[in-house]
Amino acid sequence: MSREQRGPNEKLGAVLALAGISNAGLARRVNDLGAQRGLTLRYDKTSVARWVSKGMVPQGAAPHLIAAAIGQKLGRPVPLHEIGLADADPAPEVGLAFPRDVGQAVRSATELYRLDLAGRRAGGGGIWQSLAGSFAVSAYATPASRWLITPADSSVARDVSPAEGSGAPLKVGHSDVGKLREAAEDARRWDSKYGGGDWRSSMVPECLRVEAAPLLLGSYSDEVGRALFGASAELTRLAGWMAFDTGQQEAAQRYYIQALRLARAAADVPLGGYVLASMSLQATYRGFGDEGVDLAQAALERNRGLATARTMSFFRLVEARAHARANDAVAAGAALKAAESWLERARPGDGDPSWLGFYSYDRFAADAAECYRDLKAPGQVRRFTEQALSQPTEEFVRSHGLRLVVSAVAELESGNLDAACEQGVRAVEVANRISSARTTEYVKDLLHRLEPYGDEPRVVELRERARPLLMTTA
C-alpha cells in the first residue's frame, strides 16, 4: 500500500542518482533487506518510478528499508528527510545522535529505551525490523571523535522542578545506582552462559526502560549523577552486546553510541574505552577492519596512564583482531605481543573494573587464535586454541563454543578432517544449548569450509547434527 504526496519526490530521485542506483536496483535491494527480516516484498522498477515521479509513499517498513538500501551504497546513514520520506510511518532514527549537551544526551538515551520496548510489544522485531540493514560503520565517526576531544562533561547535576513532570520529581541516591549495577552484573553472567538471545538477557532493555530511564530523568547531585550515568552506560553497552550477539546489528550500533555518551557523562574513561572496543569488535566482525583499528586505537589513546594493565591488554587485543581482519600480519602480531605484555604485568590488587571480569589469559588465547585464523596461520591457531580450551567452561559457555569452531577450522586447514569434524560436533552441541546468532554463524562458516568434503561420512554426520540448529535460524 502507498499514499500519494503532492508532486514528484525530487529528493529521492536526486539521492538515487547520487548513489548510482537504478529503479530496478533499488527495488531489488529493498526486497532483499525485507527478506532478511522475514518480510515478503515484491517491489519492482515500476514501484520505484511511482515513488519518485508521483510522490507515492510506501507504507510499513518500506521507507526505512529504502533509506537503509541507499545508505549501504553510500556508506553512511541516510535519514528519511533526505529522501523525502520523513512523513512516512514514524520510526525515528533514534540512538544515532551523540549530543554535546548532557540534558539532550539523557533525552537521546531514554528515547532509545522506550523505542526498544515498543518494538517488542509490536512483535516480530518491531522497530528493529523496519531498520533492517541500516548498520553503517561511518555512524561511529562523530561519537568517537567527540569522545576523544572531550571524554568528560564538566557537570551532570540535575534538579528537576515539579513543573517539568507529573508529581514530585524522583530524587536519585546511591542505593538506586547500586540496583542498576547489580542488574548489570546478573545480565553479564546470563549472557556469557546462555547467549544474547536467552529470555533472561531480553530483560536488559526492559530494565533500561523501567529502571534506568526514570532515574536519568530524575534529580541528582553531580556525584550521584556520575555513578548513575556509569551504571546506565554499562547496562546500555550490555544491551548492545546482546543485540550484536543475536544479529541485530542496527540495534547494537544505537545502544553502543548511547553507551559511549553516557560513559562520557560519567567521566569514566576506561568504560568509554570498553564501549569503543565493543564498537571495534562489531566493525571488525562486519568486515570493516580498518575502522575497527581506528575505534580500538581511540579506546587506547585516552586510557594511556589511566586504565589498569589488564584493561590496556584487552584494548590491544581488540586492536589485534581488527588488524588481522584487515590482513595486516605485522601490526596484528605487534598488538598481540603488546596485549600479552600488558597481561603479564597485571596484578590482583590493580583495581580492575567489574565489567572486565571475563578477561584472563584463556580469553587472550582465544582471540589470538581468531587473529591467526584470519591470517591463515593454522599452526598458531592450534597452539592458542589448545590453551584457550584448557580452561573450565561452566561460566563462559558461548565462548567455549566459539573456540571449538575456531579449533575445527584450524584442524581442517592443517588437513586433519576427522579432528575438524570431532571439534565441529562438540561445537554444535554447545550451540544447541544457547541462543547466539554469532555462534550459529561460526558453525555455518565451518560447514561452508567443509563443502569440498561433503560426501565424507564424518562431514555428513556433522551436517545432520547441525541441521536443527540451522533450521531455527533459517
Q: Considering its fold, how many domains does the chain have in total?
A: 2
Query: Three-class SS of residue 435?
Result: coil
The Cα–Cα gap between 54 and 58 comes to 12
Mean pLDDT of all residues in 213-221:
94
pLDDT band at 91 (very low <50, low <70, confident <90, very high): very low
Domain end residue (candidates: 62, 83, 104)? 83
Q: Does 90 fall in a domain?
A: no
Residue 75's DSSP bridge partners are none
pLDDT in tens, 341-386: 999 999 988 999 999 998 999 999 999 999 999 999 989 998 998 8
Given this model, what pLDDT does residue 210 score?
87
Least confident of 49-53, 252-256, 392-396: 392-396
Residue 219's DSSP bridge partners are 171
pLDDT, the chain, mean: 86
- A 10 A CB-CB count for 93 gives 17
Domain end residue (candidates: 61, 83, 105)? 83
Alpha helices in 55-101 (DSSP H): 62-74
Task: Tell me the chain's radius of gyration from C-alpha atoms.
Answer: 23
The Cα–Cα gap between 66 and 27 comes to 8
Given this model, what pLDDT does residue 351 score?
94
Given this model, what pLDDT does residue 125 score?
46
Cβ pair 55, 7 in contact under 8 A: yes
Cβ pair 156, 276 in contact under 8 A: no
Q: pLDDT > 90: what percent of the chain?
A: 52
Q: Does 79 fall in a domain?
A: yes
Judged by phi (left if over 0) then psi (alpha if -120 to 50, else beta), residue 219 lies in beta
Whether 232 has a pLDDT exceeding 90, the answer reads: yes
Residue 77's DSSP bridge partners are none
Given this model, what pLDDT does residue 341 score?
97
Q: Does 105 fall in a domain?
A: no
pLDDT band at 123 (very low <50, low <70, confident <90, very high): very low
Grid cell at residue 329: 600480519
pLDDT band at 193 (very low <50, low <70, confident <90, very high): low
Bigger pLDDT: 192 vs 304: 304
Q: Does 198 fall in a domain?
A: no
Grid cell at residue 457: 561420512
- Give me the amino acid identity at 398: R
- A 10 A CB-CB count for 462 gives 24
Whether 124 has a pLDDT exceeding 50, the answer reads: no
pTM over cut 0.75 = yes
Whether 471 has a pLDDT exceeding 80, the answer reads: no
pLDDT in tens, 416-448: 999 999 999 998 988 888 777 888 888 999 999
Handedness of CA 246, 231, 317, 295 (dihedral sign): positive
Cell 588488524 found at: 323
Domain end residue (candidates: 32, 59, 83)? 83
Contacts of residue 90, defined as CB under 8 A and 6 or more positions apart, other chains included, come to none
pLDDT band at 321 (very low <50, low <70, confident <90, very high): very high
Q: Does 96 fall in a domain?
A: no
Cβ pair 182, 207 in contact under 8 A: no
Cβ pair 280, 143 in contact under 8 A: no
CA distances from 138 to 17, 36, 72, 144, 293 (A): 21, 22, 11, 10, 13
Given this model, what pLDDT does residue 162 score?
62
Whether 230 has a pLDDT exceeding 50, the answer reads: yes
pLDDT in tens, 272-298: 999 999 999 999 999 999 999 999 999
Bigger pLDDT: 151 vs 107: 107
pLDDT in tens, 379-415: 999 899 888 887 666 667 878 888 888 988 888 888 9
Most confident of 49-53, 88-92, 126-130: 49-53
Closest CA to 310 of 274, 275, 256, 281: 274
Q: Does 472 fall in a domain?
A: yes
Q: pLDDT > 70: what percent of the chain?
A: 86
Q: Which domain holds residue 417?
A: 371-474
Cβ pair 426, 404 in contact under 8 A: yes
Euclidean distance between the first and final Cα of the chain, in Å?
A: 27
CATH number at residue 61: 1.10.260
Whether 31 has a pLDDT exceeding 90, the answer reads: no
pLDDT in tens, 156-189: 999 987 655 445 668 999 999 999 999 888 888 7
Given this model, what pLDDT does residue 392 score?
62
Given this model, what pLDDT does residue 394 score?
63
Q: Does 114 fall in a domain?
A: no
Chain-centre distance for alpha carbon 271:
16
Q: Does 423 fall in a domain?
A: yes
CA distances from 197 to 37, 204, 284 (A): 16, 11, 21
